[in-house]
Structure 1
Amino acid sequence: MATKSKPKNKKPIARNKNTTGTWKVEKEEKVQLKELAKDERTWKIAGTTFLLISFFLIISFISYFFTWRQDYTQISRGSEILWDPDVKILNLLGKLGALTAHYFIYRLFGVAAILVCTFFFVVGVNLLWRRRVFSVWRNLKYVTLGMLVVSAILSYLLPNEEFRWGGGVGNMIAGWLTGSLGMIGAGAVLALIVIAYFIWQFNPAFNFPKKLKRPLAGDTGSADEEAPAIAEDAVAEKKRVEVPEMNGAKLVIDTGAEKNKYDIKLINKEPVVQAKEEEAGYERITVLKPEARKPLPAETKETPVEGDAQELELPVASKPAKPVKPVSEDDLKLEINSGPIAPAPATAAATAPAEKGKAYEPTLDLKHYKKPSPDLLESHGSERVVQDPAELENNKNQIIKTLANYDIEIQKISATVGPTVTLYEIVPAAGVRISKIKNLEDDIALSLSALGIRIIAPIPGRGTIGIEVPNARKTIVSMKTLLASDKFSNSHFSLPIALGKRIDNENFIVDLATMPHLLMAGATGQGKSVGINAILVSLLYSKHPSQLKFVLVDPKKVELSVYSQIVNHFLARLPNEEDAIITDTKKVINTLNALCIEMDNRYDLLKDAGCRNIKEYNAKFTARKLNPEKGHQFLPFIVLVVDEFADLIMTAGKEVEMPIARLAQLARAIGIHLIIATQRPSVNIITGIIKANFPARIAFKVSSKIDSRTILDAGGADQLIGKGDMLISLNGEISRLQCAFVDTPEVDKVVDFIAYQEGYPQPFLLPEYIDEKDLESGDFDLDDRDSLFEDAARLIVANQIGSTSLLQRRMKLGYNRAGRLMDQLEQAGIVGPNQGSKAREVLIKTEMELQQHLDMLG
């Protein structure tokens, strides 16, 4: 082998100045025990060691049962036999195995010592997989109590046997019980311990038949008459709610229906009214008192705004309407008031119906699953909104001066400071046209020397005109703050998502299930991917894996790949596919069509259950009112996320647009929701069919007003300042938000936290889908028929419906196999050719004719 040449400019090793002729000793690297304990390899080595110990013990114990008589004389000598080469032991694990088994079985716990092996096995599995597969403390508790009780019982039942069935500890406990309580008393205590364990573990029901009382003649119908009267009074109280006014008058609000929806059940002649009213859906009214505004000192240079918005009211002296003169800047005094501009609407929390009996709980499949903690996320800087009063005063003066130059008089001006934008609200004088102020957008931007001026004329429901001006110092909105807030943690939304903060510094948290689909657009680098991560992280923090599944489509191949680790927890994929993150266009088409099949199957389940939406269906299923043997199951929410929709449209076109439009039109009721993002919000990408079914839209900064009108049907997105600044159109209102920031390392921590926990054996599988063209091109041999061919033929003939979906539902097959069966039935002459969306014609009408036809086919 060739030797490496020495470097020419290698510096000589420095000698120690204090000692001549000796070299300086280099410092040795210290081993960090904490880092070594956190290393994944350390956990695997420890787990393997514990598993080997458990296997060693079980083999030595089992071998001891057969060889103890021959080995007893040798192993009774103790540990000295380990060093004697002349000693021969018959135990499978030699001298050490025989000594270990003798110590645990003969001296300690007898046969019950086998339970020790389970403890080492549980610890080894948890260490090797680095997750809580089994509970160590629960196993340790059962092993300790089990060894004591079982050894005592065996020693009590087999006291004088040559082999110590209960070991030394069992003999000691049984001897003490027998000496203290006698044989009968000791047996009773041991039997009581066993019975108490089974009652505690299994909780059997001891129900005796109730004795029915014969109704008296005078009491006939009393309960039937009393219940409607109580129900009518309860409904009357619910129908009329009195709210005291400020002047002493009372406002009576009708909140209930004319008749109660349910009868009142009497228990001991006391009506259970509250549960029935909550289940009937009667409204609860919460009256909020307006908070008093407390003035803050105006002498400080910087004013922090914590929690709510900051409102700066700037009074302007009113002047006569005829002569219009510019307003003097010195006449204005700055008055700072803290508190929200308008009280937040009170959201009535939906009261949960009373639990009935033993309801089905889907989260028990992963009962040890823990939701991520906000501590996994980081706080990016200070959360306080700090604004310089000098900047506010300067902006106010510039706005007033610019408007005065165009003979526009205002009566009042106020400011609301947000994380990145300050909203200045002005009240124009009488006779000033709003369009005149709207046309001065560029002039105001020039006077303020600011980028991204946006004028809202007028602000809906406020009676003012808003001018949004970017702050000189912007505040980052951390995702940790939103997820740790009470508004998110105490929300009763089905799919809560935390998007960011408003201009008034209020957390913006909405329900994806009520949107019900979301369309996102914006230029490159303006925050779309961060917005998608914010939505996904919000859902991961709020839902259990049994309640939510993601279908992730990522044509970029790198944006959503971080979520591939939680494939067995939250992701859904096609059968026989390796990657849950879909990147190939052909697989995207198959996935979208598979979602359409899943949608149709869910609607069939809702139809059979008599429900209108997924919430009612799951409530019925958890109440055990639906039979799982008939195909009913708990339905999780499915969220489809498409990171770059324009690329799919350009490569696949109608093959992608049609299933997307179909899902957007129909999938809301059965819990399938869409989130679609694109960089190019043009009319050929976001067509009219798609826009009509996406009422909720988010626009980050775009390059032109045309793109803004395409995505929002209004301008303003081209005036945003980027870096998470966005407009959201929801319920007909457009709000400006600063998107919550969550960095990629934070997402990695959240995903790793979930991935290390126990997951399902396999991901959530979507129905199989295969193109009809591929099925028609296939050539099937009747001699190589499917094993379910005759069963499928009898099912089709009995129902007289040549439908592939019928085979899927009744025979529990995938779409591929059901389609091949249908083609074989066509070639066999049992059903007719494919007729598109219609069912095939069944050519054989009776089962007798079918049997004759099958006999002819052989």
Structure 2
Amino acid sequence: MQKKLVDCFDVAGLYLKYESDKFTRKIYPKIHSAQKLDNRIEYVFTLLNGMDPREVRKKEYAFFQIFGRTLKIESDGIKKYVLTIYAESLAKEIKWNWSDIVGTCQHFKLPIYCGKNENNEHVAYDMVKNPHLLIAGETGSGKSTQVRSVLTTLIKTTTSSHLHLYLADLKRSEFHLFRRVEHVKAVCTKVSELKRVLAYLKKETECRGDLLEKYEVTHVDDLPEHERVPYIVLCIDEVALLKKEKDAMEIIEDISAIGRALGMFLILSMQRPDAKVLDGKLKVNLTVRMGFRCADLTNSRIVGTPGSEKIESSQGGRFLLKLEKLTEVQAPHLDDVNAKKELEPYKRDDVVPIEESIPLCPNNHTVSNCGRSPLTDEEEPPTPQFGLLEDE
């Protein structure tokens, strides 16, 4: 077993040379152990004094070339490394199962469940700490199913008083399942409807900014209990359709820039990456990317997941996750039928038109009702603390 690791050191150039008049010798990192465990092989080795640990990270590709894709390299950051080679590869398909994933998600404030990695481990993260998500991939790659899975998981892990969802589906094909869900404040199928929502959310950013300034805190989670506001997630399917809507894109970019502190987050998806849309501060602020199968290297680089162009068409639901580093993940499959069953307990009986639920000019939107549902005609507006926000 040790010989294979030595071959890897040799290919990667991870050695020091000792030269004398008679011969030249390669001195490799010291291998302390190599053992077979239940479903993996584990190597422990240390670098020689004078070897740069950054070289291991640079030459990490050599480990994958020699040992395959199912490995993990862990380090103390100085000399010691643990290389684990797993026997199992990524599952070809996994089912979205609430009882299976709830334990992974329950510790996060705003959990985004991704799927399973090549070590058969659940992969999830907290959107509050890693704001804004881009999901991209060709038709049939699993992108739409993943959006459905992400939203369903958010609904099941977070109460409607702590999470408000605003959904935009300009193709009118994806978000009908989420109508009447108590967390969902709007499902937009027209650009005019989305613009109405964006105007409302722009006012919301101003309102929440006033709250942070009033209480001299840097995040809405630090506000006093009586001023706490729900998280807001704006999810737009096929955001590339908005590239000609300059005003709309500016608001989306603003949310990407300041939304983290305000508890406002983006989930954007698109089939074909568009460099004009993913340009400037929007691309920079989309800190997490899910790159499903892309047409070519250019498209995968636009998404920020180079290598996703190599995903085969037979690998539905496979994607590269860019979080701390690129990780290959198998997304869970959640079909329409099961999604309906999971969402049914959260459905309301009534359907409120966007014109009623989202005021175009929210004159009642004051610091004291920030983040709460718009007032109905029967309710009296609360006493303003700073006066009304003026319409722009």
Same fold per superposition (TM over 0.5): yes
Match of 1:316 in 2: 3
Q: Secondary structure at the match of 2:128?
A: helix
Q: Partners of 2:336 and 2:215 in 1: how far apart?
A: 43
Distance 1:316 1:323, change over 3 A: farther
Picking from 665, 677, 694, the partner of 2:269 is: 677
Q: Secondary structure at the match of 2:187?
A: coil
Q: Does 1:613 align with 2:219?
A: yes
Question: Whose Rg is larger?
Answer: 1
Distance 1:672 1:440, change over 3 A: closer
Q: Partners of 2:342 and 2:331 in 1: how far apart?
A: 19
Q: Partners of 2:82 and 2:193 in 1: how far apart?
A: 51
Distance 1:658 1:761, change over 3 A: closer
Counterpart contact for 2:95–2:333, Cα < 8 Å: yes
Q: Partners of 2:74 and 2:283 in 1: how far apart?
A: 23
Amino acid at match of 1:724: G
Counterpart contact for 1:500–1:739, Cα < 8 Å: yes
Match of 1:727 in 2: 320
Q: Which has the higher contact order (CA 8 A, sep 6+)?
A: 2
> How many Å apart are 1:516 and its aligned residue?
1.0
Counterpart contact for 1:459–1:466, Cα < 8 Å: yes
Q: Partners of 2:63 and 2:256 in 1: how far apart?
A: 40
Alignment of 1:143-158 (within 5 A): none
> How many Å apart are 1:521 and its aligned residue?
1.2
Match of 1:488 in 2: 105
> How many Å apart are 1:586 and its aligned residue?
2.4
Match of 1:527 in 2: 142
Amino acid at match of 1:611: V
Q: Does 1:476 align with 2:93?
A: yes
| Number of equivalences | 337
> How many Å apart are 1:659 and its aligned residue?
0.7
Q: Partners of 2:221 and 2:274 in 1: how far apart?
A: 36
Q: Partners of 1:762 and 1:547 in 2: how far apart?
A: 22
> How many Å apart are 1:696 and its aligned residue?
1.4
Q: Partners of 1:589 and 1:608 in 2: how far apart?
A: 29
Counterpart contact for 1:555–1:643, Cα < 8 Å: yes
Amino acid at match of 1:337: L
Q: Does 1:698 align with 2:283?
A: no
> How many Å apart are 1:607 and its aligned residue?
2.3
Q: Secondary structure at the match of 2:327?
A: strand
Q: Partners of 2:144 and 2:134 in 1: how far apart?
A: 13
Amino acid at match of 2:307: G
Picking from 503, 518, 524, the partner of 2:118 is: 503
Q: Does 1:551 align with 2:143?
A: no
User: Deviations for 1:19-63, whole angstroms, at most 9, x for unmatched residues?
Assistant: xxxxxxxxxxxxxxxxxxxxxxxxxxxxxxxxxxxxxxxxxxxxx
> How many Å apart are 1:716 and its aligned residue?
1.6
Distance 1:483 1:548, change over 3 A: farther
Amino acid at match of 2:97: K
**TM-score normalized with structure 2 length:** 0.71
> How many Å apart are 1:583 and its aligned residue?
1.3
Between structures 1 and 2, the one with greater helix share: 1
Distance 1:455 1:683, change over 3 A: farther
Picking from 227, 250, 258, the partner of 1:666 is: 258
Between structures 1 and 2, the one with greater strand share: 2
Counterpart contact for 1:438–1:455, Cα < 8 Å: no
Q: Partners of 2:179 and 2:196 in 1: how far apart?
A: 19
Counterpart contact for 2:294–2:308, Cα < 8 Å: yes
Q: Secondary structure at the match of 1:500?
A: strand
Q: Partners of 2:194 and 2:358 in 1: how far apart?
A: 13
CA RMSD of aligned residues (A): 4.3
Q: Partners of 1:459 and 1:515 in 2: how far apart?
A: 23
Q: Does 1:570 align with 2:187?
A: no
Distance 1:681 1:459, change over 3 A: farther
Q: Does 1:584 align with 2:175?
A: no
Counterpart contact for 2:111–2:124, Cα < 8 Å: yes
Distance 1:518 1:436, change over 3 A: closer
Q: Where do 5+ consecutive residues of structure 2 fail to align? A: 11-16, 18-22, 26-33, 363-382
Distance 1:656 1:709, change over 3 A: same
User: Deviations for 1:102-150, whole angstroms, at most 9, x for unmatched residues?
Assistant: xxxxxxxxxxxxxxxxxxxxxxxxxxxxxxxxxxxxxxxxxxxxxxxxx
Alignment of 1:744-823 (within 5 A): 744-755=336-347, 765-769=357-361
Amino acid at match of 1:551: Y
Alignment of 1:647-666 (within 5 A): 647-649=241-243, 652-666=244-258
User: Deviations for 1:787-832, whole angstroms, at most 9, x for unmatched residues?
Assistant: xxxxxxxxxxxxxxxxxxxxx967987x8xx75xxxxxxxxxxxxx
Counterpart contact for 1:550–1:639, Cα < 8 Å: yes
Picking from 28, 35, 38, the partner of 1:338 is: 38
Alignment of 1:241-256 (within 5 A): none
Amino acid at match of 1:542: T
User: Deviations for 1:293-351, whole angstroms, at most 9, x for unmatched residues?
Assistant: xxxxxxxxxxxxxxxxxxxxx44376999899xxxxxxxxx974137x8xxxxxxxxxx
Q: Partners of 2:204 and 2:191 in 1: how far apart?
A: 20
Alignment of 1:137-216 (within 5 A): none
> How many Å apart are 1:747 and its aligned residue?
0.9
Amino acid at match of 2:221: K
Q: Partners of 2:44 and 2:321 in 1: how far apart?
A: 23
Q: Secondary structure at the match of 1:676?
A: strand
Amino acid at match of 1:716: G
Counterpart contact for 1:455–1:465, Cα < 8 Å: no
Amino acid at match of 2:285: N
Give me the identity figure in percent.
22
Counterpart contact for 1:483–1:498, Cα < 8 Å: no
Q: Secondary structure at the match of 2:37?
A: strand
Alignment of 1:313-392 (within 5 A): 314-316=1-3, 336-338=36-38
> How many Å apart are 1:475 and its aligned residue?
4.5
Q: Partners of 1:746 and 1:316 in 2: how far apart?
A: 50
Q: Partners of 1:323 and 1:703 in 2: how far apart?
A: 47
Q: Secondary structure at the match of 1:486?
A: helix
Distance 1:436 1:737, change over 3 A: closer
Q: Secondary structure at the match of 2:232?
A: strand
Amino acid at match of 1:606: L
Counterpart contact for 1:595–1:766, Cα < 8 Å: no
Distance 1:541 1:767, change over 3 A: same
Distance 1:762 1:505, change over 3 A: same
Distance 1:469 1:724, change over 3 A: farther
